[in-house]
A = this chain, B = another copy of it.
Amino acid sequence: MAPEFRCDCPITSALDIVGDRWMLVIVKQMLIEDKRTFKDFVESDEAVATNILAAKLKCLENHGLIAKTRHPTNKKTNLYFLTEKGLSLAPLIVELALWSDTNLRDVHPTMRNQKEQFASMRKDRKAFVSKLQRHHREAMEASQRS
């Protein structure tokens, strides 16, 4: 399943991978909202259909952005985590978040509990990105230990 790209522009090729609503939504949920299981995604606010979710998870896995692991105790639960390649999308997600916070404020008044997060994000993007990545890596390691 070698990726087929439509044209020679690197940016456009990147969009062949992440230029899709659900791809970035899933990455965002994993990175920011600590979603891990199929059920987490299905029950989320975004309410993706199960067949779409399965397809997108497979695609993300094929592209090496996420990896599926087994829940250490509960055998029938899978845990999805971002790979390093997936984690490298964090700056993109942060820019997306900041753009929405700036440009959709009239439509979506930022929720109280998120204000602090956005402020911190805007203040030092690089630090925020690192924090998100570190948090995710630690959660992943913790899940394998327990």
Residues of A within 8 A of B (CB): 3, 5-16, 18-21, 24-25, 28, 32, 45-47, 85, 88-89, 91-93, 95-104, 107-108, 110-111, 114
Contacts and interface: CB of A to CB of B under 8 A. Distances in A.
Contact of A9 (B16, B45, B99): B45
A16 B9 CA distance: 24
Given A5-B107, A6-B46, A45-B7, A13 B100 contact: yes
Given A6-B46, A11-B97, 16 more contacts: A3-B107, A6-B47, A7-B47, A8-B45, A10-B114, A11-B32, A12-B25, A12-B46, A13-B104, A13-B107, A14-B104, A18-B99, A19-B20, A88-B102, A91-B99, A92-B95
